Amino acid sequence: GILQHPDGTVLKQLQPPPRGPREQEFYNKVYDSGCCDSILLELREYLPKYFGVWSPPAAPNDTYLKLEDVTRKFKKPCIMDVKIGQKSYDPYASAEKIQQQVSKYPLMEEIGFLVLGMRVYHVCTDSYETQNQHYGRSLTKETVKDGVSKFFHNGYCLRKDAVAASIQKIEKILEWFEGQEQLNFYASSLLFVYEGSCQATTVRLGEVTLAEKRVVPRGLLGGDILEYNNNIHVINSTENGKIEASVSKGLSKFYALHKKAYSKRHHHHGQLSLKVENLEQGNVWKSSTCITQEHLNGNVLPQLEKVFCHVPAEIKESANVEVRMIDFAHVFPSDTRDEGYIYGLKNLITVLQNILDN
Residue 204, pLDDT above cutoff 70: no
For residue 277, the model assigns a pLDDT of 36
* Stretch among 150-154, 241-245, 337-341 having the lowest mean pLDDT: 241-245
Pair (121, 181) in one structural domain: yes
227 within a domain of the structure (yes/no): no
Pair (155, 11) in one structural domain: no
Pair (41, 190) in one structural domain: no
Pair (166, 84) in one structural domain: yes
Residue 311, pLDDT above cutoff 70: no
Residue 240, pLDDT above cutoff 90: no
Pair (44, 162) in one structural domain: no
Mean pLDDT of 159-186: 98
Rounded to the nearest 5 percent, the helix, strand and coil shares of the chain are: 35, 25, 40
For residue 1, the model assigns a pLDDT of 78
- Please name which of 349, 351, 339 lies closest in space to residue 185, comparing C-alpha atoms: 339
How far apart are alpha carbons 119 and 78 in whole angstroms? 6
For residue 242, the model assigns a pLDDT of 34
pLDDT tens per residue, range 316-349: 445 799 999 999 999 999 999 999 999 999 999 9
How far apart are alpha carbons 257 and 259 in whole angstroms? 6
Mean pLDDT of 271-276: 36
56 within a domain of the structure (yes/no): yes
113 within a domain of the structure (yes/no): yes
Pair (49, 107) in one structural domain: no
Phi, psi of 86 (to 5 degrees): -90, -20
Q: How many domains are there within the chain?
A: 2
39 within a domain of the structure (yes/no): yes
Residue 259, pLDDT above cutoff 50: no
Pair (1, 52) in one structural domain: yes
208 within a domain of the structure (yes/no): no
Residue 345 Cα to chain centre, angstroms: 15
Which residue segment(s) compose the domain that 48 sits in? 1-69
Residue 276, pLDDT above cutoff 70: no
Mean pLDDT of 206-211: 40
Domain end among 69, 92, 124: 69
Mean pLDDT of 71-91: 98
How far apart are alpha carbons 205 and 276 in whole angstroms? 13
Kindly give, in sequence order, each residue whose CB lies less than 8 Å from that of residue 187, ignoring residues fewer than 6 positions away. Answer: 83, 85, 88, 89, 90, 101, 327, 329, 330
As a residue count, the chain comes to 358
Residue 90, pLDDT above cutoff 90: yes
Pair (75, 184) in one structural domain: yes
Out of 129-133, 195-199, 240-244, the most confident range is 129-133
Q: Which residue has the higher pLDDT, 307 or 166?
A: 166
For residue 34, the one-letter residue type is G
Pair (77, 192) in one structural domain: yes
Mean pLDDT of 4-23: 97
For residue 92, the one-letter residue type is Y
CATH number of domain containing 325: 3.30.470.160
Pair (41, 156) in one structural domain: no
For residue 105, the model assigns a pLDDT of 98
For residue 318, the model assigns a pLDDT of 53
For residue 319, the model assigns a pLDDT of 75
Domain end among 11, 34, 69: 69
276 within a domain of the structure (yes/no): no
For residue 300, the model assigns a pLDDT of 52
213 within a domain of the structure (yes/no): no
For residue 198, the model assigns a pLDDT of 83
Out of 108-112, 205-209, 240-244, the most confident range is 108-112
Domain end among 48, 69, 90: 69
Pair (65, 80) in one structural domain: no
Residue 351, pLDDT above cutoff 80: yes
- Please name which of 34, 36, 14 lies closest in space to residue 25, comparing C-alpha atoms: 14
For residue 222, the model assigns a pLDDT of 38
Pair (81, 190) in one structural domain: yes
For residue 336, the model assigns a pLDDT of 98
> How many beta carbons lie within 10 A of that of residue 89, not counting itself?
19
For residue 217, the model assigns a pLDDT of 47
231 within a domain of the structure (yes/no): no
Average pLDDT of the chain? 78
